[in-house]
Structure 1
Amino acid sequence: MPAKILPPPLKPGDLLRVIAPSGALREFDSFYQSIEIWRSRGYQIEVPPEITDKWGYLAGNDQNRRQQLAAAWKDPNCRGILCARGGFGSTRILENWHWQPESSTSENPKWLIGFSDITALLWSLYNVGISSVHGPVLTTLANEPDWSCERLFNLVEGRTLEPLQGKGWGNGVATGILLPGNLTVATHLLATPFQPDFAGVILAFEDVSEAPYRIDRMLTQWRLSGNLAQIKGIALGGFTACEPPANVPSFTVDEVLRDRLGDLGIPVVADLPFGHDKCNAALPVGQEVTLDGDKGTLIIRNS
């Protein structure tokens, strides 16, 4: 599978638009602090007035959230889209959604940056041939360590990314196309029109607030679906707040991951620094990487 089109590098002065395609905004201090981080780098940041809309647990109704995305994507002056937060809701706006025709995905690509629930949009964009960024949203960027913030800017501004170090489970080295995302959101894209072609892919998964038995259930679905037979490797980030319930017999989440993924005969690297806790190292969606299951490294090859 070929690597995806990488949008042109961002530069100070570029216009970036904020959208809230998922959950209702709640973390206002960190949200505005993160906007200031982008502005301090010289970027123009446009925040829509409806950013504080609420419709139940969503940041506005589906049509309004879909319109936010469409307006940002079709704006010829906009070079990147910053997602406010995750939560839930981006899969809902994929109904009746098309990245084309008004903004050609091959002629006018732009950066889309987010993680967690934004996985649905990242993978949808991947399916039409555009690379994006699995990285901090605007409610989390201000809490990232300096090196993680700098990594995000290095990625979108076209500079080299340092390899990430985790714990290798063996099975050698694989090179493939990186497809990072939240395990829960990605699992719910299986058997939908937004399921990617997994041939030649290196999956990168993280998750939050999922009990070990639910992680087990999702990974078992991946096994039974046959999709894991197509991939070349698996990179695992943080599985935050995924401890078993108190006083209930259970495996740990690490034991579940080992049980469900350790026998696939492909390189697996765990404990990489991306996800919901401590640090969320930016990862390119749809670019070539090398995963070393012996040394425990993830290297972005074309950065």
Structure 2
Amino acid sequence: MQQLQSPPSITTSQKVRVIAPSGDLREWERFEQGIKVWRDRGYELVIPEDLSQPWGYLAGTDEQRCQQLIEAWNDPDCVAIACARGGYGSTRLLEKLDWSQLSDRPKWLIGFSDITALLWGLAKYKGIGGLHAPVLTTLGNEPERSQQQLFDWLEGKVNSITLSGEGWGNGKATGILLPANLTLATHSIGTAICPDLENVILAIEDIGEAPYRVDRMLTHWRWSGHLQKLKGVAIGRFSQSEVSTPSFTMEEVWRDRLSDLGIPIVMHLPFGHDGENTPLPVGCIAEIDTDSGTLSYRR
């Protein structure tokens, strides 16, 4: 994977459009809190009247959600697109979305979890790096530090960010940062959006996945040969993973499935669900260092 084109920095008073490309929006109070965070910083948030038109567990039909994305992306005055929530559904859009309908002009696509599919699609088909960062329904619950990091990165006020965790494995490495939800990334293997993972530092998080399911996904990655291509692995938060039956711990699974790769691993990093979700730009230069237990990235 090569370094991706980064969208230009944005400034307050500019237009940010809201889309709901995944699950039906149910957390309206939390959604409004996220909107308030953006507006309090001076941005013009544009929310379509048909933002969420429930269709089963989705925020609208595939066609409706595709059209929302296309209209927001092709709006020449829009500098960023903020996703309302995750859940499930963005992968369905990849079957229907004609990427040639999207302008080549880069802008920020912001979200995480289920939005992984769109971030990876944007990287694959447009060569543009989005931002793995809170969706609107989680932004209001973020600590001030990670909110500030989000806007500092978008506004070009910082050129690098360092996250601290616990390192193990082999030394340090430099590569291209590729953040993802592990489940979504696993389901991309063998599909058109799965990127070339050579030279990649994979940053992964998830929610509600028991250790045995994470074991199963990592084993699938091993069998596919994709893990063996990586320069390093950065592990964020795997929340709500507790089980009542006999089990390996999550850390035991990580060490069992990754230790023989001979690459740097850093875990317990502050990104993912249910806690601080530090923004991770897709496709930028990153360094992972087991001695210091850090993941650093720069523009």
Task: Name the structure 1 match of 2:238.
Answer: 239
Q: Residue 95 of structure 1 aligns to a residue in which SS?
A: helix
Structure 1 position 274 matched with structure 2 position 271 = yes
Conserved? CA contact 2:73–2:102, under 8 Å: no
Describe how 1:77-96 pairs up with structure 2 within 5 A.
Answer: 77-96=77-96
Please report how far the alpha carbon of residue 99 of structure 1 lies from its aligned counterpart in structure 2 after TM superposition. Answer: 2.5
Structure 1 position 214 matched with structure 2 position 213 = yes
Task: Name the structure 1 match of 2:190.
Answer: 191
Task: Name the structure 2 match of 1:9.
Answer: 9
Q: Residue 33 of structure 2 aligns to a residue in which SS?
A: helix
- Alpha-carbon RMSD: 1.0
Please report how far the alpha carbon of residue 100 of structure 1 lies from its aligned counterpart in structure 2 after TM superposition. Answer: 2.1
Q: Residue 163 of structure 1 aligns to a residue in which SS?
A: strand
Alpha-carbon distance between aligned partners in 1 of 2:262 and 2:221, rounded to the nearest angstrom: 15
Alpha-carbon distance between aligned partners in 2 of 1:144 and 1:262, rounded to the nearest angstrom: 32
Task: Name the structure 2 match of 1:149.
Answer: 147
Alpha-carbon distance between aligned partners in 2 of 1:50 and 1:263, rounded to the nearest angstrom: 50
Conserved? CA contact 1:18–1:81, under 8 Å: yes
Alpha-carbon distance between aligned partners in 1 of 2:119 and 2:183, rounded to the nearest angstrom: 14
Please report how far the alpha carbon of residue 101 of structure 1 lies from its aligned counterpart in structure 2 after TM superposition. Answer: 4.2
Instruction: Tell me the amino acid that sits aligned with residue 150 of structure 1.
Output: Q
Please report how far the alpha carbon of residue 191 of structure 1 lies from its aligned counterpart in structure 2 after TM superposition. Answer: 0.1
Task: Name the structure 1 match of 2:255.
Answer: 258
Conserved? CA contact 2:80–2:107, under 8 Å: yes
Describe how 1:1-303 pairs up with structure 2 within 5 A.
Answer: 1-104=1-104, 108-127=105-124, 128-160=126-158, 161-244=160-243, 246=244, 248-302=245-299
How many aligned residue pairs are there?
A: 297
Q: Residue 66 of structure 1 aligns to a residue in which SS?
A: helix
Alpha-carbon distance between aligned partners in 2 of 1:135 and 1:279, rounded to the nearest angstrom: 10
Alpha-carbon distance between aligned partners in 2 of 1:147 and 1:49, rounded to the nearest angstrom: 32
Q: Residue 169 of structure 1 aligns to a residue in which SS?
A: strand
TM-score (norm 1): 0.96
Please report how far the alpha carbon of residue 159 of structure 1 lies from its aligned counterpart in structure 2 after TM superposition. Answer: 2.2
Please report how far the alpha carbon of residue 212 of structure 1 lies from its aligned counterpart in structure 2 after TM superposition. Answer: 1.1
Deviations 1:38-63 (A, max 9, x none): 01111110001112311111101111
Alpha-carbon distance between aligned partners in 2 of 1:76 and 1:68, rounded to the nearest angstrom: 15
Q: Residue 93 of structure 1 aligns to a residue in which SS?
A: helix
Percent identity between matched residues is: 57
Conserved? CA contact 1:167–1:270, under 8 Å: yes
What 5-or-longer segments of structure 1 have no aligned partner? Answer: none
Alpha-carbon distance between aligned partners in 2 of 1:249 and 1:149, rounded to the nearest angstrom: 38
Q: Which runs of 4+ in 1 moved over 6 A?
A: none
Q: Residue 269 of structure 1 aligns to a residue in which SS?
A: strand
Alpha-carbon distance between aligned partners in 1 of 2:168 and 2:258, rounded to the nearest angstrom: 10
Alpha-carbon distance between aligned partners in 2 of 1:199 and 1:170, rounded to the nearest angstrom: 18
Alpha-carbon distance between aligned partners in 1 of 2:196 and 2:176, rounded to the nearest angstrom: 11
Conserved? CA contact 1:170–1:294, under 8 Å: no
TM-score (norm 2): 0.97
Alpha-carbon distance between aligned partners in 1 of 2:298 and 2:10, rounded to the nearest angstrom: 20
Conserved? CA contact 1:173–1:291, under 8 Å: yes
Conserved? CA contact 2:70–2:101, under 8 Å: no
Please report how far the alpha carbon of residue 259 of structure 1 lies from its aligned counterpart in structure 2 after TM superposition. Answer: 0.9
Larger displacement relative to structure 2 (95-104 or 131-140): 95-104
Alpha-carbon distance between aligned partners in 1 of 2:286 and 2:233, rounded to the nearest angstrom: 11
Please report how far the alpha carbon of residue 102 of structure 1 lies from its aligned counterpart in structure 2 after TM superposition. Answer: 4.8
Instruction: Tell me the amino acid that sits aligned with residue 152 of structure 1.
Output: L
Please report how far the alpha carbon of residue 18 of structure 1 lies from its aligned counterpart in structure 2 after TM superposition. Answer: 0.3
Please report how far the alpha carbon of residue 189 of structure 1 lies from its aligned counterpart in structure 2 after TM superposition. Answer: 0.5
